[in-house]
Amino acid sequence: MTHRAKVRVRYAETDQMGVVYHANYVVWMEVGRVEFARAAGLPYKELEAAGFFMAVIEANCRYLAPALYDDEIEVETRVDKATPRSIDFGYTFWRGAQKLGEGRTRHLFLNRDLRPARLPAEYHGVFGIT
């Protein structure tokens, strides 16, 4: 189960090397997993409204080829592993058929007090938790 979200590179996201500044891929991963969840039926803001947060505890990115200004990037997102306590997402960044990079993030589910929480069963299907 994967989802592809589109991101158009903003001038704001470039740097003086003439390419996208690397930290922006981490923001694009957010776009990827949020659109993944929306496509699976759960806008992330509804999860927060219900009192649950997906806090990032780890983020990794490998850069293979630079993204450029105005590129239309596709962020392919998948769930690598999910339990009621935590979830791992994997990402691949594409410009057309060219792979620009890969990323991973690991998240803990937290409650409103930002303490570790158990994701209620009604949300398990969204993330493929079995």
> Which one is catalytic: 15, 71, 80, 113?
15
How far apart CA 79 and CA 71 sit, in angstroms, is: 25
Which residue, 58, 71, 50, is CA-closest to 29?
A: 58
CB atoms within 10 A of CB 51: 12
Candidate residues 31, 39, 117, 129; the one interacting with its own copies per rule CB under 8 A: 31
Decide if residue 80 touches its own copies (CB under 8 A).
Answer: no
Candidate residues 24, 36, 42, 87; the one interacting with its own copies per rule CB under 8 A: 24
Interface positions, 37-66, toward its own copies (CB under 8 A): 43-45, 53, 55-63, 66
Contacts of 2 (CB under 8 A, 6+ apart): 36, 76, 77, 78
Do 21 and 74 meet the contact criterion of CB atoms below 8 Å apart?
Answer: no
Decide if residue 111 touches its own copies (CB under 8 A).
Answer: no
How many residues of this chain bind its own copies (CB under 8 A)?
A: 36
Choose the binding region for its own copies from 15-23, 80-88, 90-98, 115-123 (rule: CB under 8 A). 15-23
Strands (E), 64-113: 72-82, 86-95, 98-110
Answer yes or no: 70 catalytic: no
Query: Which residues are designated catalytic?
Result: 15
Q: Which residues bind its own copies (CB under 8 A)?
A: 8, 10-12, 14-19, 21-24, 26-27, 30-31, 34, 43-45, 53, 55-63, 66, 69-70, 114
